[in-house]
Chain A
Amino acid sequence: MSTREFTCVVCPNGCTIVVDVDDDETPVVTRVQGNVCRRGESWARQEVENPMRTIASSVPVDKGDFPLVSVRTNRPVPLAKIREVMEEIGKVSLSAPVEIGDVIVPSPAGCDTEVVATRRIRKIV
């Protein structure tokens, strides 16, 4: 058993949430306190048991009006998988043109997400 304290980031209220955690093998939440709403409780539970994050990076582009295109995951990925996702993004290079929303990596590290371009890169002739 351990106790962890979080500042909830769901809304600007920023509740201080105290969570009791059963740490045997995978952490399991046994009690949540300090949250004003239920979204805070489910967020705290998720934060302990399997925190999820959206991640952004950039990928080199050949023959473009800029040398990089920014990318992000269109759904959050488990925090624990971010390194692997970054490694897969790191292997990619593209040729211009690139459109916003183009899928750059279909399901990085087996996650239920896509890495998509977030910027338009025009081809220079």
Chain B
Amino acid sequence: MNMKNGTIPTICREVVVIGGGPAGLAAAIAAREAGCGSVLLIERDRILGGILNQCIHDGFGLHTFGEALSGPEYADRYIGKFRDLQIEAMEETIVLSLSADRLIEVSTRGTFQRIEAGAVILAMGCRERTRGAISIPGSRPSGVYTAGAAQNFMNLENIMVGKKACILGSGDIGLIMARRMTLEGAKVEAVFEILPYSSGLPRNIQQCLNDYGIPLHLNTTVTGIVGAGRLEGIRVAQVGQDRAPIPETERFVPCDTLLLSVGLIPENELTREAGVEMDPVTGGAIVDDSFMTNVPGIFACGNVLHVHDLVDWVSMEAGEAGKFAACYVQNGSCALPCLIPVKPGSGVRYTLPQKVSGERDFVISLRVAAPWRDRSIVVRSGGREVARQRHMRLHPAEMIRIDLRKEAVAGCPSLEVVVE
């Protein structure tokens, strides 16, 4: 094949969505429903639905559908709508490059083509932090998995990953896998969490650990991996307030499997390549209240933008991004100048979007920095209070959303969100 310019097959589409998980599906549907004729969704896997396909537990869709669906069922609702609207999908297709002028190069099963996009919606989701990312010392035996990889093996490929497991990190995927492995006949020894509190939802602590008598050890981490060939066990130790292991508390726990549930990283290689400005705290793009990045016509939504706790919020956010992307291609640009910065203040880890126009209603998504009881989230502009939301309980594991009307922020030069 001649790869010189001009001989490469090139197609044009109004809106191109990268990623066919919950964010991509909802974004593509919304763009089509906003009147966009040519919407194309690009998915790397052979099926749509993304990570939902391996999340077979229930609890998805409580906000959107008012019922507790499993991941595959939740995905199917959106895939059904996607197909009904006859939206074009390219499965088994990987995006090789994305430029700031929205030229996309893709490869599908060994073929190569270019796509010129009127608007691009980034919906690539996130990936898991690995052993390398947290630098656990020791040998390199088999039996050490990220929790999501183990979930994929067990729930999609029918491969049992081990018989006697320990889990590092009390994020929701780790908790869900503790229950899943127990129900499939494995012995889960314990879950270890370096923080003084769990980073999973309280309902998952109850339903996945307490129900099966699996202990959760807080302020504890894995200090070593032992085994040649297969994992033979791990060394764990309690940590001090500086999160450094206390040597005299170190002990050995025999196990053949270690699952890591130690955080998610938005998958933003393409985003960076396109010259999109990033937020170092969320690990995703900086966006305005139309979910557009600093690069005109490039939008972002879902876990590639910031890691969500509930898929319902992903779909909702992606629907907004899809609508604004459609508007962008239909009107040349619907971009309002977004000059009001939104900044996290005391007690708040991040806020999103990072800037707003003040010309339309919007939602601030945020996470708090630590667990608290009986506090308020306050949005203020200088000395003026714009909004206040009281919470009996605040937890870093839970994303908080504050609806704001444009009238409420009229005349504000900037907004700050704090915990009081």
Contact = CB atoms under 8 A, between A and B. Distances in A.
Interface of A: 6-7, 9, 12-15, 36, 51, 53-58, 60, 66-68, 70-72, 79, 82, 86, 100, 118-120
Nearest to B73: A118
Contact of B56 (A9, A51, A67, A72): A72
Interface stretch (B23-31, B122-130, B151-159, B361-369): B151-159
A95 to B, nearest CB: 15
The 3 A-B residue pairs with the shortest CB-CB distance, nearest first, are A9-B203, A70-B56, A119-B72
Contacts of B205: 7
Contacts of A58: 56, 154-155, 158
Contacts of A57: 56, 183-184
A25 to B, nearest CB: 21
27 contacts: A7-B202, A9-B201, A9-B203, A13-B392, A14-B202, A14-B393, A14-B395, A54-B68, A55-B183, A56-B58, A57-B184, A58-B56, A58-B154, A66-B156, A67-B157, A68-B157, A70-B70, A70-B72, A72-B58, A82-B183, A118-B69, A118-B73, A119-B53, A119-B56, A119-B70, A119-B72, A119-B73
B206 A7 contact: yes
Contacts of A56: 56-58, 70
A37 to B, nearest CB: 11
Contacts of B250: none
Given A57-B56, A58-B158, A120-B76, A72 B70 contact: yes
A60 B158 contact: yes
A7 B72 CA distance: 29
Of A6, A56, A58, A66, most buried by chain B (CB within 10 Å of CB) is A56
Contacts of A82: 183
B282 to A, nearest CB: 21
B155 A68 contact: yes
Nearest to A82: B183
B207 interface: yes
A67 B201 CA distance: 31
Contacts of B211: 51, 53, 79
Given A58-B154, A118-B56, 9 more contacts: A12-B398, A36-B392, A56-B58, A58-B155, A60-B158, A70-B56, A72-B56, A100-B72, A118-B69
Nearest to A73: B58
B183 to A, nearest CB: 5
Contact of A9 (B68, B73, B202): B202
A100 B57 contact: no
Contacts of A100: 72-73, 76
Given A56-B57, A119-B53, A6 B206 contact: yes
Contact of B393 (A12, A55, A60, A79): A12
Contacts of A71: 56
A34 B35 CA distance: 51
Interface string B378-396: 0000000000000011010
Given A7-B202, A82-B183, A53 B207 contact: yes
A86 B155 contact: no
Contacts of A118: 56, 69-70, 72-73
A72 B183 CA distance: 13
Contacts of A119: 53, 56, 70, 72-73, 76
A6 B210 CA distance: 11
